[in-house]
Structure 1
């Protein structure tokens, strides 16, 4: 089976790759994460993933696009059309309860499924499925939609049972360990002490 595994970071990849190898599947990894901000965070996660794939002898395909504007425009479609940065309506919206996670998943999984279909992969999956902090059912729903859109199978696995062990192994290997999901809104929530 030729599987393309979208990956958000090296720490989340450790146990996903191990679980897949236990099923005799050697995934190729795919980096596309326009949601990760600021650039220093993006670079730290990307470079750590490059180190991981090199250490593991895995193939890594990269859409290396620091996508601040892509992500913001997706979350707030009219954002780029305003010189003052305000959203039409009653001023800047409250991000709490916004559909930002769905937009984020769609951006990344659309690109992953398209790449998988264009490059002869049988299926695709994502390391997002290991995090207990992500919206698991929404990830699956979005991924299945992208599978239908591009005619490539979505390979579902609930990797969450391996999350703590993967984090432990990543720390032991000296990987950069992020403190928030990746988007500027999750970073804000980290400092405000709340999680959506």
Structure 2
């Protein structure tokens, strides 16, 4: 580790871990990845993302992965009732996963914590940061909060080059439905634009 500061990094998937691990190492941290994502549905999707992450961590990044609690019943209890109220659902989801991050950090002797959730421009950046900061203080930990969103295109390109599986929705069944609707609306808009361009020609 060469004097680096140990940091427990919650990871939501492999592609979103690429840039945070690299950048945190450049800052002088040595990340250990924590997997706790009971939101990901169905289980086959959960397992595929986990397999992608652990393969990359072992073979390319040389970063350790800790498997923490994946309490799916707790997710259904605290986040599920919010349904398509995205902000309420995501805040509950963040809180559940980041609380587990902090619990394991204390248990394993880490003093610094962070998350890969903030790579994606589709996440609720400010909400996630506020929740992580609050939980870190409550557990006497230091939250390492960085805005990784500008690196999202780099992460996407690197993931393609590495042949990594990339998901098309955040994780839960509600986000899957929302993403499908957004793709449908975008497709319809492209069709309308093409039709208008032909009409003007």
Range of TM-score over shorter length: 0.7 to 0.9
For residue 27 of structure 1, give the secondary structure of its aligned residue in structure 2.
strand
Instruction: Find the counterpart in structure 2 of residue 177 from structure 1.
Output: 166
Equivalent residue in structure 2 for 1:118, among 82, 93, 107: 107
The alpha-carbon deviation at position 94 of structure 1 amounts to 5.8
Q: How many pairs were matched up?
A: 179
Tell me by how many angstroms 1:191 deviates. Answer: 1.9
User: Superposed, which structure 2 residues align to 1:1-12 within 5 Å?
Assistant: 1-12=5-16
Q: Which residue of 2 aligns with 1:84?
A: none
Bigger radius of gyration, 1 or 2?
2
Residue 92 of structure 2 corresponds to which residue in structure 1? 103
CA contact (8 A) 2:68 2:104 kept: no
Aligned residue among 67, 72, 85 for 1:62? 67
Unaligned runs of 5+ in 2: 186-201
Partners of 2:123 and 2:159 in 1: CA distance:
19
TM-superposed CA distance for 1:160, in Å, is 1.0
Q: Which has the higher contact order (CA 8 A, sep 6+)?
A: 1
Q: 2:132 maps to which residue? A: 143
Superposition RMSD in Å: 1.8
Equivalent position of 1:47 in the other structure: 51
Q: Is the 8 A contact 1:106 1:142 kept in 2?
A: yes
TM-score with structure 1 length normalisation? Answer: 0.86
Match of 2:121 in 1: 132
Contact 1:37 1:68 (8 Å CA) reproduced:
no
CA distance in structure 2 between the aligned counterparts of 1:112 and 1:100, rounded to whole angstroms? 19
Q: Distance in 2 between matches of 1:95 and 1:106?
A: 17
Taking the TM superposition and a 5 Å limit, the aligned residue runs for 1:75-94 are 75-76=79-80
